[in-house]
Amino acid sequence: MHELTIQPSEGSGPSSIDAEAGGVQEYVYLIGCAESALVKIGRSEDVSRRRTEIQRMSPVPLTVLWSHPGGAELETRLHRCFGHLRSHGEWFHFGEEDPIACVQKVVETGTWSPPTQTGDLAHIRADSWWEYVEHVTNRATQAAIANATGVDKVTVWRWRAERATPKPEVAIRLARAYGRPVLEALAASGAITYEEASVTEVVVERGISDIGDEDLLAEMRRRVAGVAQ
C-alpha cells in the first residue's frame, strides 16, 4: 500500500470539501500500517500529533497514509460510506481494496460502490446482529431503528450493549423497513443459517410485502426443510 498525503489546497471544489472557513483548520486522515488494509478514519487539528497518540496504543508502526482539509461533515460522510467495512470504533478493514483510493474517490466524487454484493454479504456473515443493523441502517439513531422495527429503545440498546438478537418477526420488519432481503436479516439474527438463507426466496402470486410474517416464516421453514432432506 502506498502512502499519499494531500496538502491543503485553495478553492472550494471537490478537493476542498468540508474545509473550515476561518478559525482552526481540521484535517480528516487515514492512519494505519502500510502493510495492512485496516485503517483509522478520523479527524484532528494536528494529524502528526494524533498519529503519535495512537501509536502509543498500537503494537505495530503506524503512519499517516492520507490527509485532507475537512471537519466533522467529511469524517461522518466517510464513516457512513464505509460503515459496512467497520471493524471497531473508527477502524475500517478494506480487505483487498486500497483504502486510500477508495477514500479519495469519495472525496472527489462523493460516491463509492463496493466491488460486489457477495463480498459485502460475506462481511455481514462474520458480524454480530448489531453490526448488521449498523450497516443496513447507515448507523441510524437507536430511536429511529426502534420506530422502524416496532420495538422500544431499550430493546435496540440491548442489541448494541448486550449483543442480544431479535425475534424473527422483528428481523423481518427491519429488513422491510430498510430495503434488505428478508432471508439475509434472518440469517444475521441467527434465526436461520447462511446456508439456509441461500435458498431462493418464496415466489408467490402476491407481492412478498403483502405476506404476513407468520406465513412467510412457515413457508421459509418448509422450503429449508425440503432442501435439508
Domain boundaries, the chain: 1-115, 116-229
Q: How confident is the model at residue 206 (pLDDT cuts 50, 70, 90)?
A: very low
pLDDT reported for residue 182: 86
pLDDT tens digits along 49-91: 999 999 999 989 999 999 999 888 888 888 888 877 788 888 9
pLDDT tens digits along 174-183: 888 877 888 8
Share of the chain above pLDDT 70, in %: 71
Distance CA 95, CA 123 (A): 10
pLDDT reported for residue 195: 76
Q: How confident is the model at residue 14 (pLDDT cuts 50, 70, 90)?
A: very low
Q: Strands 27-32 and 86-88: what pairing?
A: unpaired
Long-range pairs for 13-18: beta carbons < 8 A, 24 or more residues apart: 14/107, 14/108, 14/109, 14/110, 15/68, 15/107, 15/108, 16/69, 17/68, 17/70, 17/74, 17/107, 17/110, 18/69, 18/70, 18/71, 18/72, 18/73, 18/74, 18/77
Question: What pTM does this model have?
Answer: 0.46
Task: Tell me the one-letter amino acid at 187.
Answer: A
Position with higher pLDDT, 218 vs 53: 53
pLDDT tens digits along 161-175: 888 999 999 999 988
Q: Strands 86-88 and 91-93: what pairing?
A: antiparallel
Does the pLDDT of residue 41 top 90, yes or no? yes
